[in-house]
Amino acid sequence: MITKSKGQIKNWLNSPPEPKKEPLPHSPSFVRVPQVKVSSNRTLVLCLGDNIVPVLKAIKTHHEAHKTQKVLVFYDETSQRIRDLLEPLRQYCSKRFIEFKQAGTDHMGASILEKMKQYLKPLSRESVYINITPGTKAQAVALATGACKLDIKDRLYSIHKNRLVEITTGSSVAEVSEVPPEEVIPFYFYEHRTKRAYEQIARTSELWESLLDVLSKNPKAYRGGGFSGIYYKGQRFLDVDEKALKVYHRGLHREFKLPREVFQRQEDIRGGFWWEVVVYWALRRHLQCEVHLNVEHLDERQLPLSELDIVTAWEKNIIVVSCKTSTKELDLHSMQLVAEARARFARMAVCFIAVPTETERQLIELPHQETFVRVLPPTILNNRQRLLGELKDHIKRHQKSP
């Protein structure tokens, strides 16, 4: 048997047959994905001005449209106000995984050209994006001049209304990203009393609500002089113990301990600060959102440079309220309010003045600043529906102004 099959066995050993190929059950399939290289050196160059809004718009828009991973910020190192914006801006970029670099200059753009050469020389022209909208006009000229000297003028961009525009061609590149007010406010909240005192104000809420109720029913309830100047039916409404920080409420027959975290100075008792707290609590109660009291901008010595009485983000705008206990010089107060509010929040700022007495003046026009300031008396502040209606109407009026 073996002898007969010897030839076949020999042939099989020399060239064995290949096994039949069959696909394995549930065999995985592999798809080759092409690798896309994204440059991690894409850098946005801009200047930092008083108004943070165009800075944030430029950073967000270029990050979304051009995938920029770094931002080089030129800032006026002689300005305390602008230096204070650097750290919040660094944190803003860090949350979006954008590398942050800063370079000092002045309001005229000194040394921008030399520093552009230093920072941008290692980069390819395609990875550089220069936005000239934020900052001063002189700084914008310096950036544009630097781009021309470095032969990258085709990398210049600006923000025109809601479009990102390439300057050399005038073509629209992308829609500008929106910046909600919640992202803007932290840049200007250097210090405010309600960081520490909200709970204390809330515990004495009955006092503030009763004062507003009395003022709304009696147009001449306040005669000046702090808590002691509030009258009802010809009688003083509160008895004040300045040293103990206590007030006795004759209407409620109750004694209230004023929160020391809020009433920090003696002039807070004697002056009109009580009205700021009343308005603060009314807005906090009616708007049902976070409201900030006494937003201060401090200098390096921790001395106040400026202050806004009440600030809150509402309906995609920033409501700024100045509290005055007198209706005199409302035009002057309105101009000061708008100047400070717009320096911080630009066009997002919608301005109001709250007064504790009724007044015939409901709307103050500021033609030179092309805007209006709405006056809020107690009758409006004490009525939620009226207050919301007035806020919405004034926001619409603000949006229609130039």
pLDDT on residue 35: 46
Q: Which of 160, 179, 198 is the last residue of a domain?
A: 179
Q: Tell me, what CATH number does 387's domain have?
A: 3.40.91
Query: Are 72 and 213 within one domain?
Result: no
Q: How many CA atoms lie within 13 A of 67 on its CB side?
A: 7
Token pair of 83 as six digits = 């230096």
Residue where a domain terminates, one of 179, 211, 244: 179
Long-range contact set of residues 334-340: C-beta below 8 Å, sequence gap at least 24: 334/364, 334/366, 334/373, 335/366, 335/369, 337/373, 338/366, 338/369, 338/371, 338/373, 339/369, 340/306, 340/308
**What confidence score (pLDDT) does residue 40 get?**
63
Q: What is the pLDDT of residue 298?
A: 64
Q: With both helix axes pointing from N to C terminus, report the angle between 205-217 and 273-287 in degrees, rounded to the nearest 10.
A: 100
Residue 133: what residue type?
Answer: T
Contact between 48 and 113 under an 8 Å Cβ cutoff? The reply is no
Rounded to whole angstroms, the Cα distance separating 62 from 117 reads 21
Which of 284, 275, 273 shows the shortest CA–CA distance to 384? 284
What is the model's pTM?
A: 0.73
**Token pair in block for residue 232:** 């009802």
User: What are the backbone dihedrals phi and psi of residue 365, each rounded to the nearest 5 degrees, phi first?
Assistant: -90, 135
Count of beta carbons in the 10 Å neighbourhood of residue 347:
14
Kindly state whether residues 140 and 204 are assigned to the same domain: no
pLDDT in tens, the chain (402 residues): 556 666 666 666 666 666 666 655 555 454 454 444 444 689 999 999 988 999 999 999 999 999 999 999 999 999 888 998 999 999 999 999 999 999 999 999 999 999 999 999 889 999 999 999 999 999 999 999 999 999 999 999 999 989 999 999 999 999 999 999 889 888 876 555 666 677 888 999 999 999 999 999 988 889 888 898 999 888 899 999 988 889 999 988 999 999 888 888 778 888 899 999 999 999 999 999 989 888 876 666 666 667 899 999 998 899 999 999 998 999 999 999 999 898 788 788 999 999 999 888 899 988 877 789 999 999 999 999 999 999 999 999 988 776
Based on the number of CB atoms within 10 Å of its own CB, is 40 exposed (0-12), middle (13-18) or buried (19 or more)? Answer: exposed
Same domain for 131 and 206? Answer: no
Look at the block and give the residue holding tokens 């705008």. 317
The span from the CA of 299 to the CA of 305, in Å, is 6
CATH number at residue 95: 3.40.50.10770
Q: What is the DSSP letter of 368?
A: G
| DSSP E strand stretches across 106-149 | 128-131
Q: Do residue 349 and residue 395 come from a single domain?
A: yes
The pLDDT value recorded for residue 296 is 77
Distance CA 129, CA 9 (A): 77
Domain boundary among 148, 179, 210: 179
Structural domain boundaries enclosing 358: 187-400
2 in a structural domain: no
